[in-house]
Amino acid sequence: MSDLRQALKDNAEAVNKMMDSLIPKADGGQGKLFEAMRYAATSGGKRMRPFLVVQSTGLFGLTHQTALRTAAAVEFIHAYSLVHDDLPAMDNSYLRRGKPTTHVQYGEAVAILVGDALLTLAFEVINDFDTHPDPVVRANLVTALAQAAGARGMVGGQMLDIQSSGNELSMAEIVRLQRLKTGELFSFCCEAGAILAKTPGRARQSLSSYAHDLGLAFQITDDLLDAAGSTAETGKSVRQDAENNKPNFVTLLGVERAKSQAQILAQQAVSHLDQFDSRADLLRELAQYAVDRKF
Amino acid sequence: MSDLRQALKDNAEAVNKMMDSLIPKADGGQGKLFEAMRYAATSGGKRMRPFLVVQSTGLFGLTHQTALRTAAAVEFIHAYSLVHDDLPAMDNSYLRRGKPTTHVQYGEAVAILVGDALLTLAFEVINDFDTHPDPVVRANLVTALAQAAGARGMVGGQMLDIQSSGNELSMAEIVRLQRLKTGELFSFCCEAGAILAKTPGRARQSLSSYAHDLGLAFQITDDLLDAAGSTAETGKSVRQDAENNKPNFVTLLGVERAKSQAQILAQQAVSHLDQFDSRADLLRELAQYAVDRKF
């Protein structure tokens, strides 16, 4: 196993453990809610966003606890967005990370509440003293997360996404859609270290640029896997975009051009890390992994 | 018009204006999302929770801006919870505040996103420097709001609520359900002044007790109106609990005992305000209004 794969695996275990500790334990009537939150947040998944947070904080020598709590908060946001996106009224997906989606497992009403609860928990966790002792830093973090996740970020991207069904989108429009839908939260993850270390300026800007290119490379590869992959390999429903008549990078560029675009973005992402020493090596490897992965 | 009714009306106008200013303006593809957020948050409604926030902050001499921004954040939380609760998979309500519910007006997918976006916006607003200059105060506020709104608060109460359909609940269970579903956010509203003024201890405890009794009095009256009222009077779908076979205070106590219980709670709520001067008079009036209102 390569260093990166081992690091991703170790990171996923550590983040899952942290998330598990942050979700309330079974307690009377809400026990089912907590159980469903745990199901949605801690099962399967590459934990890519938490990995970015942990690598980013590693560049600035922040504590393990700060890194993992911030990473867990971001994954709660990501998990809530998946639960709501999978709902029948949205993508109507029945399989996620090789398991039934939350609404298939627990019912639609519970899935809606699970998403709401995970979203709220993310802000509770990130705002807590245990994440960072300086309230100014935490306030900056809450603001950045809210902007990345909200109507001008991820939720806005979802809105563009559901409106895109059946429409022809230009390359610029699809880039903007993905920038909002996944790019803003990717940027938050990569910038988290700089925010937590109170290091604005060039370092944060470089990480933001890295995140931008990495996010697009990831998305194009996701679209390639969706078009070509099998459910057995990816562990989630495939050919969703074609079925839902949604434009994406592959429908727009074709397979070959999409592949070469992803490679260019991966190289470009790495070039933004020039100012960082070997502590950024896993981020460099990750950019290549983003486009080479098979699931 | 009584002082209280005038004050409620003035407050609703001020809070609506603040909410409108905090929701992004139309902008490309997300314009529809912003429009739907505005529809869900700013149309109709008594603005009871914002009123409690403004009255609570008035006891401690906080600025108008602090009061209204905190009030708007709470109303965003309340509005999001209504949008999600009204969804077909939850209460399946088609009418709210005399108008079609958000999913009826904009579709289910948009309604899910509207709720997510309003919830996220609440934390962005309350965490902002403009709400309070002291980051420690804001951090305390974010924590209190997240706890009141999340899995151990409002969302947990919703979970108990959807599980209650068709079950017999004891008085203790139904009180717990309401405590979580509406009481925790009511408490946050009433305690907001004490949190913002950094005045813990007896004042905050008294406001918490007031909120507890007021919240129950409100809920019992809501149940009475649901059982007896007409859609024309209340502006929302009525007899929902009976249709959905949900136990509530009226199904449990009967109309007469529910009425007398609400009166007792209103008096008890007022008694918790003894330590405050005439600045708490509108809160005192509100407790009586809570049980006397016809909608």
Beta-carbon contacts of B263 under 8 Å, excluding residues fewer than 6 positions away, are: B291
Contacts of B28 (CB under 8 A, 6+ apart): none
In the predicted structure, residue A2 carries a pLDDT above the cut 80: no
pLDDT score of A110 more than 80: yes
pLDDT at B114: 98
Per-residue pLDDT tens digits for A57-80? 999 999 999 999 999 999 999 999
Asked if residue B49 lies in contact with residue B189, where contact means CB atoms within 8 angstroms, the answer is yes
Nearest-by-CA chain B residue for A86? B109
121-160 in A: which are within 8 Å (CB) of B?
Answer: 121, 123-124, 127-129, 135-136, 138-139, 142-143, 146-147, 149-152, 155-156, 158-160
Mean pLDDT of A142-170: 92
- Chain centroid to CA B243: how far? 23
- At residue B54, what is the residue type? V
Task: Give the C-alpha separation, A85 to A91, whole Å.
Answer: 6
Which residue does chain B place closest to A180, by CA atoms? B30
| pLDDT number for residue A94 | 94
pLDDT at res. A238: 57
> Which of B29, B37, B120 lies closest to A119 in CB terms?
B120
A vs B, Cβ pairs < 8 A, gives 156
Task: Say which of A81, A143, A163 has its CB closest to residue B32.
Answer: A163
Mean pLDDT of the region A106-135: 97
Tell which phi-psi region holds residue B187, choosing left (phi > 0), alpha (psi between -120 and 50) or beta. alpha
Averaged pLDDT of chain B: 91
Look at residue B228 in the predicted model and tell me its pLDDT.
81
Does the pLDDT at position A170 exceed 90?
no
| Chain A CA closest to residue B33 | A159
pLDDT in tens, B123-180: 999 999 999 999 999 999 999 999 999 999 999 999 999 988 777 888 898 899 999 9
Residue B83 has pLDDT above 60, yes or no: yes
Phi, psi of B88 (to 5 degrees): -50, -40
Mutate to test the interface with B, among A159, A169, A181, A244 (most CBs of B within 10 A): A159
Share of residues in chain B with pLDDT > 90 (%): 77
> pTM for this structure?
0.94
The residue whose two tokens read 């990750």 is: A286
Inter-axis angle of helices A108-126 and B64-85, to 10 degrees? Answer: 150
Is the pLDDT at B1 greater than 90, yes or no? no
Interface check B32 vs A, CB under 8 A: yes
Predicted local confidence at residue A294, as pLDDT:
79
Query: What average pLDDT does range B286-293 have in this prediction?
Result: 92
Q: Over 80: is that where the pLDDT of B238 sits?
A: no
Q: For A152, which of B24, B127, B158 is closest by C-beta distance?
A: B24
Q: Looking at residue B132, what is its pLDDT?
A: 97
Mean pLDDT of all residues in B253-267: 94
Cβ neighbours around A176 below 10 Å, total: 18
Which residue in B179, B199, B265 sits closest to B57, CA to CA?
B199
CA distance B31 to chain A (A): 9
- pLDDT computed for residue A51 by the predictor: 97
Cα gap B168→B185, rounded to integer Å: 25
Residue % of chain B over a pLDDT of 70: 93
Beta carbons of B143 and A124 less than 8 Å apart:
yes
Q: A209-261, pLDDT tens digit by residue?
A: 999 999 999 999 999 998 886 555 555 565 566 666 677 889 889 999 999 99
B30 and A156 within 8 Å at the Cβ level: the answer is yes
User: What separation in angstroms does the CA of B188 have from each of A62, B69, B191, B292?
Assistant: 33, 14, 5, 24
Q: Is residue B230 predicted with pLDDT exceeding 80?
A: no
CB atoms B112 and A29 under 8 Å: no
Q: Report how many helices (DSSP H) and strands (DSSP E) chain B contains, helices first.
A: 16, 2
pLDDT band at A201 (very low <50, low <70, confident <90, very high): confident
Give the residue carrying structure tokens 């249709």.
B243
ipTM: 0.93
DSSP state of B198: T
Where helices occur in chain A by DSSP H, the ranges are 3-22, 31-42, 48-58, 64-85, 102-106, 108-126, 135-149, 154-164, 171-178, 184-196, 202-228, 231-234, 240-243, 249-253, 255-271, 281-292
* Predicted pLDDT of residue B212: 94
Task: Give the residue from A179, A185, A195, A99 showing the smallest Cα distance to A141.
Answer: A195
Candidates B116, B176, B179, partner chain A, best to mutate (most A CBs within 10 A):
B116
Distance in Å, alpha carbon of B276 to nearest chain A alpha carbon = 31
Q: Cβ of A33 and B139 within 8 Å?
A: no
How confident is the model at residue A230, as a pLDDT?
52
In B, minimum Cα distance to A103 occurs at: B89
Could you tell me what percent of chain A has a pLDDT over 70?
93
User: What is residue B244's predicted lDDT score, i.e. its pLDDT?
Assistant: 62
- Quick: pLDDT tens for B5-38: 999 999 999 999 999 999 999 777 789 999 999 9
Say if residues B221 and B290 touch (Cβ distance below 8 Å): yes
Residue A17 token pair: 């453990």
Q: Which chain B residues are within 8 Å of A136, Cβ to Cβ?
A: 135
- Asked whether residue A6 carries a pLDDT value surpassing 80, the answer given is yes
- Report the gap between the CA of B284 and the closest CA in chain A (Å): 32
Q: What is the pLDDT of residue B184?
A: 96
Decide: helix, strand or coil at residue A96. Answer: strand
**Which of A157, A69, A83, A68 is closest to A118 using CA atoms?**
A83
* A189: pLDDT strictly greater than 60: yes
Q: For residue A224, which amino acid is it?
A: L
CATH class label, B3-292: mainly alpha
Give B267-277 pLDDT, tens digit per residue: 999 999 999 99
- Cβ neighbours of residue B243 closer than 8 Å, sequence gap 6 or more: none
Q: Which two tokens stand for residue A183?
A: 């790019």
Q: Which of residues 74-113 of B touch A (CB under 8 A)?
A: 80-81, 84, 87, 89-90, 107-110, 112-113
A213 CA: distance to closest CA in chain B (Å): 23
Q: Quick: pLDDT tens for B37-50.
A: 999 999 878 899 99
Neighbouring CB atoms inside 10 A of B59's CB total 21
Q: Determine the pLDDT at residue A235.
A: 57
Rg (CA), chain A: 18
Bridge partners (DSSP) of residue B153 are none
Per-residue tokens: A134: 């300086």
Q: Enumerate the residues of chain B whose CB falls inside 8 A of the CB of residue A32.
A: 159, 163
B264 touches chain A (CB under 8 A): no
Nearest to B135 among A81, A135, A180 (CB): A135
- Among candidates B129, B163, B177 on the partner chain, residue whose Cβ is nearest the Cβ of A32: B163
Q: What pLDDT is recorded for position B203?
A: 93
Asked if B255 reaches chain A (Cβ–Cβ under 8 Å), the answer is no
The answer to whether residue A288 scores a pLDDT higher than 80 is yes
Domain regions of chain A by residue span: 3-292
From the list B107, B109, B126, B117, the residue with the least C-alpha distance to B50 is B126
